[in-house]
């Protein structure tokens, strides 16, 4: 990155050219020594280029589309100019920039555009100094100079587009597709500044950046709160956010929530294609948290029975980065690791803090605690992932082998779940796409919900505010088990509803009339696929797929609104989470972020981290049956 500009290019742009306009002698009856001499260089353009290499001001640079745009990146240094003219220039600039320019300060130079605006042609009434400058800048030399400079910029734009940098390529892709945030501004925001800050990575912090980049890819990390503004840190965080967004087909803020400093980040994450929530003041909760100097850490809450979250007065914190200057010492609830200028504290797993309790005894205690939590609640929020349907005989597609066991034809073709669950298949190979989804539709229609569903309904029956279901499952099993459809929020949609593959009129309709005939051996639809009544295109399930930008989410948004209104009424909510995995963590993250007591029932990933509540390492049916067996339930 440091060698983006060659030595010759750097010299060409930074070396000043002397412009002697000839003074005023030719424009006054009585010749006087009133020189007009300035130096002009392109140092602001060098500063812009140096910034773009690190993902800053990329749109501004790529939006240079004409030679005239480069006038914004020329710098004028005054060499010889009459004091009265200099004062006039200062007053003119101060009038246009009342809060950003001090007309009483010495003036040695300023941007070409600002300088040029101070000299106006007014026909026969034009002042001598104005006429002198205007005639000078209208010479053919300027057109030739700007054209040559523009050719160099075009070369550097192509060079930037070829750089192997994820965030840079993502932002340039948004620019090429006319989907960049700044495409919708009235004008391009341009800055003429000389500062060329050193944005390169600090070698002393390279280990820290490596640890951070590895940590946030872990399955148990769903959010980060960082009230610091370091560019490298945020490039790492937003890179992971965009990758998760693309992989999961979710908006960036849902795929991997990030919380920044209350001073803001100059909209850089949005330019890159991500999103960082900026709190009004203070800082937000998160699973990975950076501790600022002003935030109180309650050491007494970090004992053997405590947690990092309790010590931070948070719900989710399980990894804590502390500046070396504020090291907290040893904490009984966490491990400690020094990394460069930071100290990383990792929350100890709950089972490491249990002493003198057998696994069986511990499980019985947890089941009883779960029962007591449910008894104390006035409302139950049921959150469910694919594991909820396993006890009904439904596949959860865990890993390639589990998926291919269910669909051997796709195994033979080496087609993974991520590949077949793509909206592009409905235009590229609709028979294959509907062979897969048609089989799933038949499977879900023919599957009876297991007994755990009815137990859940009974647990919620006597609650003042009843229940609400938040699920990533598209199978409709909750509705089939008797749950009120108006109390279900399906965050990934429903296979029992259809939409046009092109999002025609944002229309969603029920799939009841479609009866798929599927060749299961070859995963092919035998009859005609459903069609959109409006445009005649092939319809697809109203399901959020991977890299899905045409999913019609109006039905989900309405469900989410009703859920939010319900949550606002309930005062004492307990969350029962069933079979929600870490690979697609939407359901886990939603429950954790609410902060209510959580009962996590999961045979593979039961760890609560720092969330308050109870963890049951059991399947959904077994866990619900165990809770239901406690007297009083």
Structural contact between residues 522 and 431, judged by C-beta atoms closer than 8 angstroms: no
| Cβ neighbours, 10 Å, residue 139 | 10
Distance in angstroms (rounded) separating the CA atoms of residues 552 and 492: 10
pLDDT value at residue 309: 87
pTM of the model: 0.62
Of 320, 294, 293, the closest CA to residue 307 belongs to 320
pLDDT value at residue 101: 65
Q: Which residues pair with 89 in a beta bridge?
A: none
Of 317, 372, 373, the closest CA to residue 345 belongs to 317
Q: How far is CA 403 from the centre of its chain?
A: 29
State mean pLDDT over 79-105: 80
Distance in angstroms (rounded) separating the CA atoms of residues 318 and 313: 12
Does 8 score more than 80 pLDDT? yes
Q: Is 362-628 the same fold as 203-348?
A: yes
**Annotation: CATH topology of 203-348:** Rossmann fold (3.40.50)
Would strands 524-525 and 518-519 be described as parallel, antiparallel, or unpaired? antiparallel
Structural contact between residues 504 and 535, judged by C-beta atoms closer than 8 angstroms: yes
For every residue of 161-226, DSSP letters joined together read: HT---HHHHHHHHHHHTT-SGGGGSSS------------SPPGGGHHHHHHHHHHTTSTT---EE-
pLDDT value at residue 630: 81
Instruction: State residue 528 phi and psi, 5-degree precision.
Output: -75, 140
Name the burial class of residue 493, with classes exposed (0-12), middle (13-18) and buried (19+) by CB atoms within 10 angstroms of its CB. buried
- Which has the minimum average pLDDT: 11-15, 157-161, 215-219? 215-219
| Cβ neighbours, 10 Å, residue 445 | 16
Highest mean pLDDT pick, 93-102, 188-197, 481-490, 589-598: 481-490
State mean pLDDT over 179-193: 92
Angle subtended by helix axes 451-460 and 620-628, to nearest 10 = 40
- Tally of CA atoms within 13 A in the half-sphere of 548 that contains its CB: 25
Q: How far is CA 29 from the centre of its chain?
A: 67
Distance in angstroms (rounded) separating the CA atoms of residues 262 and 48: 26
The DSSP H or E segment spanning 14 is helix 7-14
3-state secondary structure of 624: helix
Give residue for tokens 């590229």.
428
* Per-residue pLDDT tens digits for 317-359: 889 999 999 999 999 999 999 998 899 999 987 544 444 444 4
Of 217, 287, 295, the closest CA to residue 261 belongs to 295
Does 400 score more than 60 pLDDT? no
State mean pLDDT over 131-136: 88
Distance in angstroms (rounded) separating the CA atoms of residues 17 and 7: 18
pLDDT value at residue 354: 42
Structural contact between residues 103 and 94, judged by C-beta atoms closer than 8 angstroms: yes
Structural contact between residues 449 and 456, judged by C-beta atoms closer than 8 angstroms: no
Domain 362-628 has CATH 3.40.640.10: no
The DSSP H or E segment spanning 290 is strand 288-290
Residue spans of the domains in the chain: they are 7-184, 203-348, 362-628
pLDDT value at residue 357: 41
Q: Which two tokens stand for residue 76?
A: 């004028």
- Across all residues in the chain, what is the average pLDDT? 87
Does 137 score more than 80 pLDDT? yes
Q: Give the length of the chain.
A: 633
State mean pLDDT over 371-391: 92
| Cβ neighbours, 10 Å, residue 250 | 20
* Per-residue pLDDT tens digits for 547-584: 888 899 999 999 999 999 999 888 899 999 999 987 77
Does 372 score more than 60 pLDDT? yes
Q: Which two tokens stand for residue 427?
A: 């235009």
Q: Which two tokens stand for residue 150?
A: 């523009």
pLDDT value at residue 402: 62
pLDDT value at residue 528: 95
**pLDDT confidence band for 125 (50 / 70 / 90):** confident
b/e burial code for range 405-419 (CB count within 10 A of at least 16 → b): ebbebbbeeebebee
Does 397 score more than 70 pLDDT? no
State mean pLDDT over 95-107: 72
Distance in angstroms (rounded) separating the CA atoms of residues 499 and 266: 38
pLDDT value at residue 45: 95
Q: Dihedral sign for Cα 16, 17, 20, 21, please.
A: negative
* Per-residue pLDDT tens digits for 107-124: 878 999 999 999 988 888
Structural contact between residues 334 and 312, judged by C-beta atoms closer than 8 angstroms: no
State mean pLDDT over 221-242: 92
């Amino acid at each position: 990155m440091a060698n983006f500009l060659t030595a010759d290019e750097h010299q060409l742009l930074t070396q000043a050219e002397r412009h002697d306009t000839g003074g005023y002698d030719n424009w006054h009856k009585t010749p006087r020594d009133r020189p007009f001499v300035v130096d002009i260089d392109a140092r602001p353009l060098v500063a812009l280029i140096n910034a773009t290499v690190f993902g800053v001001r990329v749109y501004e640079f790529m939006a240079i589309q004409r030679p005239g745009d480069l006038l914004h990146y020329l710098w004028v240094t005054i060499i010889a100019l009459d004091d009265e003219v200099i004062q006039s220039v200062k007053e003119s600039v101060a009038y246009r920039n009342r809060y950003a320019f001090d007309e009483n300060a010495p003036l040695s130079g300023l941007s070409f555009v600002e300088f040029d605006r101070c000299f106006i042609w007014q026909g026969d009434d034009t002042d001598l100094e104005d006429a002198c400058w205007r005639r000078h800048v209208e010479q053919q030399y300027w057109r030739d100079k700007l054209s040559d400079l523009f050719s160099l910029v075009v070369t550097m734009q192509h060079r930037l587009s070829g750089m192997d940098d994820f965030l840079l390529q993502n932002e340039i892709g948004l620019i090429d597709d006319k989907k960049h945030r700044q495409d919708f501004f009235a004008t391009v925001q341009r800055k003429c500044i000389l500062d060329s800050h050193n944005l390169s990575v600090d070698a002393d912090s390279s280990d820290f950046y490596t640890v951070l980049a590895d940590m946030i890819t872990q399955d148990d990390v769903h959010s980060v709160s960082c009230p610091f503004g370091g560019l490298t840190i945020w490039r790492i965080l937003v890179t992971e956010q965009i990758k998760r967004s693309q992989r999961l087909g979710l908006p960036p803020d849902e795929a991997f929530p990030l919380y920044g400093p209350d001073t803001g980040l100059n909209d850089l994450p949005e330019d890159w294609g991500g999103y960082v929530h900026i709190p009004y003041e203070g800082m937000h909760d998160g699973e990975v948290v950076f501790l600022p100097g002003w935030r109180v850490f309650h050491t007494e809450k970090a004992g053997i029975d405590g947690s990092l979250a309790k010590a931070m007065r948070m719900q989710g914190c399980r990894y804590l980065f502390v500046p070396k200057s504020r090291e907290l010492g040893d904490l009984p609830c966490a491990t400690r690791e020094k990394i460069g200028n930071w100290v990383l504290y990792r929350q100890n797993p709950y089972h490491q803090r249990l002493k003198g309790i057998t696994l069986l005894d511990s499980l019985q205690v947890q089941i009883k605690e779960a029962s007591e939590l449910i008894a104390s609640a006035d409302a139950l929020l049921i959150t469910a992932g694919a594991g909820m349907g396993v006890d009904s005989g439904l596949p959860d597609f865990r890993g390639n082998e589990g998926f291919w066991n269910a669909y051997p034809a796709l195994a033979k073709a080496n087609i993974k779940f991520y590949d077949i669950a793509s909206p592009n298949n409905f235009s590229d190979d609709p028979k294959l796409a509907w062979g897969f989804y048609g089989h799933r539709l038949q499977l879900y229609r023919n599957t009876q919900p297991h007994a755990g569903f009815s137990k859940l309904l009974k647990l919620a029956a006597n609650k003042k505010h009843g229940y609400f279901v938040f699920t990533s499952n598209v199978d409709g099993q909750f509705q089939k088990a008797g749950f009120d459809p108006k109390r279900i929020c399906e965050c990934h949609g429903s296979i029992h509803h259809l939409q046009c593959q092109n999002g025609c009129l944002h229309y969603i309709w029920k799939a009841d009339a479609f009866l798929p005939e599927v060749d299961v051996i070859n995963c092919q639809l035998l009859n005609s696929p459903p069609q959109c009544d409006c445009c005649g295109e092939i319809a697809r399930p109203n399901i959020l797929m991977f890299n899905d930008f045409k999913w019609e989410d109006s039905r989900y948004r309405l469900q989410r609104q009703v859920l939010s209104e319900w949550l606002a009424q309930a005062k004492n909510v307990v969350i029962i989470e069933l079979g929600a995995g870490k690979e697609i963590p939407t359901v886990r993250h939603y429950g954790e972020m609410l902060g209510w007591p959580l009962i996590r029932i999961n045979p593979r990933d039961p760890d609560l981290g720092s969330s308050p509540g109870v963890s049951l390492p059991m399947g959904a049916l077994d866990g619900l049956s165990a809770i239901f067996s406690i007297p009083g339930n």
